[in-house]
């Protein structure tokens, strides 16, 4: 019998869907909270990306490309005797004192009352161990990695799905923060992510899916909480500055009519593709799409979301069937959201028959882990939604995919030179940097005054550089005492991912 994840037995799974369209910001979620300034103030060191048009005044002969991360396969797999499926709803947290990453898992076992949260750790983010915590008895033994706030609690009350690390909290016993429970969310605290305390704080209303991140720049905890919206599963936003007092959840993201049209096309394309695993059940009258989970994280000067769109292929007494696609969206204020990349999949399914876990359900990463000049995304892959009789002995794992830093979207020029002109801005910086791949072409940077006249031109930038500095052929931007400027990038056979200033 198939049930919701939070009434899950060990033989029940979660789901996520595959392709996504673009959401028009003004049409669907008009902002009530901010207006774009006429002249931007660009913060030193804060990279300007091209997921939206915030810094763009004009582009000519350029294409905007959505990039998918490169899959590395499953890195945390069910390898203990009792494990059937592993999932996660948080990003690995770096514990600087111990020099390792910590990760919390939703673990399904062979018996429903033994499902719960487990813990894993890693020094390199690839090889993970599951230490024996001796907190909860499983199959007659304490030798396991289950995290038990209270050993007598059963699933779904014992769930600790969302965890973040707050190094700035003055109380060492509260550095790790999480939510308890699979329906509604109760704030809890821990000194190490393993031993948890329950101060009895009010619960935040939520259905069975949520996500959590921490914006260290504004010291804001960001929670997305499943609600019911116009087309089914949708997500509300609650925020807090102390993890104790939370705003009332406000609906910010839901599927729309365009999602429903594209869902029919996406389902038909999947059923016609022999390389992909088909859902067990298909009823065209049931085809639809909604938003299964919605992580939000701050990235440079904007907020990025990876909504998982669930594509329903059938409905039945024992539950629905279908698959997920992870899209990309962005916002400047957490309320007005833009779908990026024409609702195409940021993370889609792997082919069947290659041993992959992420063939049917794909649950999104909560936030990327920054590793040098790469972003590492840890997400959940599940082989089934409806479980077949000849199922594999294990079917859910945590998978890894990597992407170039700033690499969500690029502006691309071919043989015909393309031009990007920025909006007017002020900055205290005097050095321009770009993240560019111009291996077979060139990129030039010009600085323009308030009238649009060039006052500096760079030497050509040639090569693949995640951080290149503009060297001036003539002119410069030092000692200009904060005038209103703009930039003009001219490039050929090159891709530009971001630009920023330093001193």
pLDDT surpasses 70 at 484: yes
pLDDT surpasses 90 at 448: yes
Residues 82 and 137: beta-carbon distance below 8 Å: no
Q: Encoding tokens for residue 54?
A: 């915030």
**CA 1/CA 14 separation, integer angstroms:** 14
pLDDT digits over 15-69, tens only?
Answer: 333 333 333 332 233 344 456 788 999 999 999 999 999 999 999 999 999 999 9
Classify burial at 502, counting beta carbons within 10 Å of its beta carbon; exposed 0-12, middle 13-18, buried 19 or more.
middle
Q: What is the 3-state secondary structure (H, E, C) of 151-212?
A: CCCCCCCCCEEEEEECCCCCCHHHCEEEEECCCCEEEEEECCCCCCECCCCCCECCCCCEEE
Residues 408 and 67: beta-carbon distance below 8 Å: yes
Q: What are the domain boundaries of the chain?
A: 14-40+48-56+62-409, 414-502
pLDDT digits over 64-78, tens only?
Answer: 999 999 999 999 999
Torsion angle (degrees, nearest 10) of CA 278, 281, 287, 289: -60
Q: What is the pLDDT, as a whole number, of residue 22?
A: 32
What average pLDDT does range 325-335 have in this prediction?
A: 98
Q: What is the pLDDT, as a whole number, of residue 480?
A: 53
Residues 95 and 165: beta-carbon distance below 8 Å: yes
pLDDT digits over 363-393, tens only?
Answer: 999 999 999 999 999 999 999 999 999 999 9
C-alpha distances (whole Å) from 388 to each of 75, 108, 281, 318, 384 are 25, 17, 11, 13, 8
**Residues whose CB is less than 8 angstroms from the CB of residue 245 and which lie 6 or more positions away in sequence, other chains included:** none
For residue 479, count other CB atoms closer than 10 A to its CB: 6
**CA 7/CA 489 separation, integer angstroms:** 54
pLDDT digits over 276-305, tens only?
Answer: 999 999 999 999 999 999 999 999 999 999
Q: What is the pLDDT, as a whole number, of residue 233?
A: 98
**Residues whose CB is less than 8 angstroms from the CB of residue 312 and which lie 6 or more positions away in sequence, other chains included:** 263, 286, 287, 288, 289, 290, 320, 321, 322
CATH topology for the 414-502 domain: Hypothetical Protein Tm1070; Chain: A (2.60.290)
Q: Per CATH, the architecture of 14-40+48-56+62-409 is what? A: 5 Propeller (2.115)
The reported pTM is: 0.92
């Amino acid at each position: 019998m198939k049930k919701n994840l939070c009434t899950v037995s060990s033989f029940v799974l979660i789901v996520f869907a595959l392709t996504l369209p673009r959401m028009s910001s003004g049409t669907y979620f008009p902002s009530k909270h901010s207006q774009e300034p006429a002249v931007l103030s660009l913060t030193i060191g804060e990279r300007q990306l091209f997921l939206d048009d915030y810094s763009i005044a004009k582009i000519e002969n350029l294409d905007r490309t959505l990039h998918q991360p490169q899959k590395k396969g499953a890195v945390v797999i069910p390898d203990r005797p009792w494990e059937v499926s592993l999932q996660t709803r948080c990003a690995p947290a770096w514990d600087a004192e111990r020099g390792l990453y910590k990760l919390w898992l939703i673990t399904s076992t062979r018996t429903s009352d033994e499902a719960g949260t487990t813990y894993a750790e890693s020094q390199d983010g690839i090889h993970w161990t599951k230490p024996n915590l001796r907190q909860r008895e499983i199959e007659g033994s304490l030798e396991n990695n289950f995290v038990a706030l209270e050993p007598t609690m059963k699933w779904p009350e014992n769930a600790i799905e969302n965890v973040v690390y707050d190094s700035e909290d003055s109380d060492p016993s509260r550095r790790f923060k999480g939510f308890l429970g699979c329906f509604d969310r109760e704030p809890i605290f821990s000194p190490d992510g393993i031993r948890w305390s329950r101060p009895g704080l009010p619960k935040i209303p939520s259905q069975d899916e949520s996500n959590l991140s921490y914006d260290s720049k504004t010291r804001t905890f960001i929670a997305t909480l499943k609600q019911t919206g116009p087309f089914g599963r949708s997500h509300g936003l609650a925020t807090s500055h102390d993890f104790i007092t939370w705003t009332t959840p406000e609906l910010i993201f839901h599927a729309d009519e365009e999602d429903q049209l594209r869902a029919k096309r996406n389902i038909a394309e999947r059923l016609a593709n022999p390389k992909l695993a088909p859902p067990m059940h298909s009823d065209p009258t049931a085809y639809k799409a909604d938003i299964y989970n919605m992580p939000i994280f701050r990235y440079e000067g904007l907020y990025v979301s990876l909504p998982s769109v669930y594509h329903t292929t059938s409905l039945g007494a024992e539950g629905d069937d279908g698959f997920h696609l992870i899209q990309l969206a962005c916002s400047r204020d957490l309320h007005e959201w833009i779908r990026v990349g024409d609702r195409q999949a940021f993370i889609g399914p792997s082919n069947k028959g290659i041993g992959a876990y992420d063939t049917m359900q794909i649950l999104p990463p909560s936030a990327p882990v920054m590793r040098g000049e790469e972003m590492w995304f840890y997400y959940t892959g599940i082989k089934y939604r409806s479980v077949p009789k000849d199922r594999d002995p294990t079917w859910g794992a945590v998978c890894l995919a990597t992407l170039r830093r700033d690499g969500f979207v690029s502006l691309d020029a071919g043989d015909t030179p393309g031009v990007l002109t920025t909006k007017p801005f002020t900055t205290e910086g005097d050095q321009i940097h770009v993240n560019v791949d111009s291996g077979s072409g060139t990129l030039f940077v010009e600085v323009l005054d308030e009238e649009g006249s060039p006052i500096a031109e760079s030497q050509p930038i040639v090569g693949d550089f995640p951080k290149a500095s503009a060297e001036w052929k003539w002119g410069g931007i030092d000692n200009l005492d904060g005038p209103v400027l703009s930039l003009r990038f001219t490039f050929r056979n090159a891709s530009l991912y971001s630009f920023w200033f330093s001193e």
